[in-house]
């Protein structure tokens, strides 16, 4: 808080937790003042899990506000003008997103649901925040889902899908994750890797990716899979890496730098050429790579080393590539170049190009085709081999 008379700042929070969000888009909010200005209601992010708090500006007394345990991701907090209610977007691993209100008198009320919620919560996999040691001994964080389907019983350790978020300085939180639930319901374990450089774990963790994009994200994906293998949670011979955009870049780099470690890769509109990404991407991210890789032309050697297209001959594991034809963030040419290399060398692969789709798929028929295709591809190259 800022004192207008003394012109001084005073920090209210002392706990290790993130209380803000990177401003990717406008209108994001994680706190709201009470109408009388005496208190602040806010969302705290710790290890990817959100909680709701209230703090007194005068006394700095901080107290949690208890919500049902199934709400582990909270967004867009708003305090009513009377101060007797708080509205939020809330979800959890087993609870699709809802609009809820909370008051001390009435507790939690559900005002709207994003899905019909026809399935019982037991049909969904719960998540577990986990931390492991990276290849250099530093801590790495993620969210782990075990297979879950009340209609089936698995035998032995399950295959693992290691999913890499985009951004690259983004974060996967403890929200309802339909993609994770799709795969866990079909017998896969699922790991969301919040590699070093992800937001939500403090400034130092976020800054770690500066100059290290294509290094830490790749290493942390591999070490996360190794950690689960060593814990006896997954099958070491049936590991899959998947990701879109910057996550797709990590997929390509991982297959190049650690050939044979993953049984297969799933790449959605992945960055393949760092030079053309800078030249062709949209205005908002036009200088993103300056901090992640360096400023051109001085950093041209780094850009070359971190561009999968120049080292695509190292990819030997099966891979399926998905691309939107109208993508303006990672243009189609990025995927075309990778696929051309795979074709020339006879690497097992599939390429699916979707007309009318941009950066991230929107059409129902596209999304349906994507999931059906991935499931079939993994059965062929991971499950039944």
In the residue annotation, 207 being an active-site residue is answered as no
Task: Report the C-alpha gap between 170 and 166 in whole angstroms.
Answer: 6
Task: Report the C-alpha gap between 227 and 146 in whole angstroms.
Answer: 14
- CA dihedral over 56, 57, 62, 63, signed as positive or negative: positive
**Tokens representing residue 109 in the block:** 């009320």
In the residue annotation, 340 being an active-site residue is answered as no
Catalytic residue among 185, 223, 245, 341: 245
Task: Report the C-alpha gap between 129 and 106 in whole angstroms.
Answer: 31
358 to 265, 354, 355: CA distances (angstroms): 21, 9, 9
183 to 35, 46, 159, 202: CA distances (angstroms): 45, 26, 10, 30
Task: Report the C-alpha gap between 273 and 307 in whole angstroms.
Answer: 5
Distance of CA 250 to the CA centre of its chain: 13
Catalytic residue among 165, 227, 349, 359: 359
Distance of CA 222 to the CA centre of its chain: 16
Task: Report the C-alpha gap between 253 and 255 in whole angstroms.
Answer: 5
Catalytic residue among 327, 335, 341, 349: 327
Please spell the DSSP secondary structure of 111-175, one letter per residue: EEESS---S-GGGSPPEEEEEEE-TTS-EEEEEEE----TT----SSPPEEEEE-STTT----SS
In the residue annotation, 34 being an active-site residue is answered as no
Using CB atoms within 10 Å of the CB of residue 260, give its burial: 0 to 12 exposed, 13 to 18 middle, 19+ buried.
exposed
Task: Report the C-alpha gap between 173 and 177 in whole angstroms.
Answer: 9
For residue 78, list its beta bridge partners.
87
Among all residues, which ones are annotated catalytic? 245, 327, 359
């Amino acid at each position: 808080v800022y004192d207008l008379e003394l012109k001084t700042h005073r920090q209210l929070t002392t706990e290790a937790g993130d209380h803000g969000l990177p401003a990717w888009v406008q209108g994001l909010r994680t706190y709201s003042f009470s109408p009388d200005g005496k208190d602040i209601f806010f969302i705290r992010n710790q290890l990817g899990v959100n909680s709701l708090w209230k703090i007194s500006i005068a006394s700095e007394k901080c107290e949690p506000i208890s919500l049902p345990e199934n709400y582990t991701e909270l967004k867009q907090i708003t305090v009513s003008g009377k101060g007797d209610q708080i509205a939020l977007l809330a979800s959890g691993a087993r609870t699709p997103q809802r609009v809820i209100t909370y008051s001390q008198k009435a507790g939690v009320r559900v005002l709207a649901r994003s899905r019909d919620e026809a399935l019982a919560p037991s049909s969904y996999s719960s998540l577990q925040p986990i931390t492991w040691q990276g290849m250099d001994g530093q801590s790495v964080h993620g969210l782990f889902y075990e297979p879950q389907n009340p209609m089936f019983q698995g035998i032995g350790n399950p295959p693992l899908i290691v999913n890499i978020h985009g951004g690259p300085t983004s974060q996967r939180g403890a929200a309802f994750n339909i993609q994770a639930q799709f795969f866990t319901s079909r017998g896969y374990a699922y790991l969301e890797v919040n590699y070093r450089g992800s937001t939500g774990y403090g400034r130092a963790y976020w800054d770690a990716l500066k100059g290290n994009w294509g290094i830490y994200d790749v290493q942390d994906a591999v070490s996360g899979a190794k950690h689960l293998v060593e814990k006896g949670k997954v099958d070491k011979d049936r590991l899959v890496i998947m990701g879109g955009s910057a996550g797709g870049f990590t997929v390509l780099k991982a297959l190049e730098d650690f050939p044979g470690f993953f049984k297969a890769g799933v790449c959605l509109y992945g960055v393949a050429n760092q030079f053309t990404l800078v030249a062709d991407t949209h205005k908002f991210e036009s200088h993103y790579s300056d901090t992640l890789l360096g400023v051109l032309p001085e950093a041209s050697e780094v850009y070359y080393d971190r561009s999968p297209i120049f080292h695509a001959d190292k990819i030997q594991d099966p891979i399926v590539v998905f691309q939107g034809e109208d993508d303006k963030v990672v243009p189609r040419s990025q995927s075309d170049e990778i696929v051309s290399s795979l074709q020339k060398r006879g690497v097992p692969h599939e390429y699916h190009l979707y007309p009318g789709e941009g950066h991230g798929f929107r059409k129902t028929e596209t999304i349906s085709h994507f999931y059906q295709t991935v499931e079939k591809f993994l059965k062929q190259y991971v499950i039944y081999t």
